[in-house]
Structures are given as C-alpha cells and as structure tokens.
Amino acid sequence: MTIELGMTTAFWCLLILAVLPIVCAGISKAGGDQYDNHAPRAWLAKQEGFRARAVGAQQNSWEAFALLTAAVVVAHLSAGPQDGVDQLAIGVVAARVLYIFFYVGDWALARTMVWVAGFFMTLSIFVAGG
C-alpha cells in the first residue's frame, strides 16, 4: 500500500471548512452595536436574531470540521478511492456553505436537510476505504 503525501482535493476542502467558522464569527460581529472585544463571548451570548444564529452556525461548523477531518484522514490512510473521497468532500463543503446560509437566514427545515446530507456524505468518506 502506498500513501501519497500531496494535497488532495479532500485536503483542500478541509482548509475551506477550517475558514467557515471564522466567516460565521464575522457575520455575528459585523456592525454590532457596542461590540466588546474584551469580552466577545459575553457580548455574543446577548445577541438575538441572525447574530445568534451565526454563533450557532459557527459552533456547529467547528464540530463538522472535526468530523470531516477524521473522515478524510481515515479514508486517506486506508487508501480509499481518492476520486470518490474528493467528490464527497466537495459535497460536504457545498452542504456546509448552504447550512450556514440557511441557518443565518432562519430557514430551519432547509438547514436540517443540508446538515443531514453533509453528515451522511461525511460518514460515506469514513467507509470509503473499507
């Protein structure tokens, strides 16, 4: 078994997913009244509406990033079919971007649907090498 060490599309997808929580943080803080950078978590805890939803999207994005990272590493180490893993990882990124959009926009059913799709694509990456 040979393991390639180059940057695969799936690895690039991990980089994109690592940035998405930061985008959510920016959405939650941008233009906020009396934003307090000395106590940002306390300020964020008081927010409502789209700002509060952006915080929720940020927290969920970190969770999704951790799970996808594990899935991609497992698939890579088990020498899974790289093209399939790459396509699934792209699908996860697309689902996560839609998830954030739907979460911030308060479209709960659509948010749940893309979350489920992204979750099952991530699980599929885990088992790709098996």
Catalogue all structural domains in the chain, each as residue range(s) with its CATH number: 9-127 (1.20.120.550)
Q: What is the largest CA-CA distance in the chain?
A: 57
pLDDT for 43 equals 85
What is the amino acid identity at position 56? G
Could you tell me how far CA 63 lies from the centroid of its own chain?
7
pLDDT for 1 equals 47
d(CA 12, CA 30): 27
What is the amino acid identity at position 82? Q
pTM listed for this prediction: 0.90
Q: Do 32 and 63 touch, CB atoms closer than 8 A?
A: no
d(CA 86, CA 69): 13
d(CA 83, CA 10): 9
pLDDT digit string, tens, across residues 29-44 = 887 777 778 888 888 8
Residues of the chain with pLDDT under 70: 1-5, 130
pLDDT for 37 equals 81
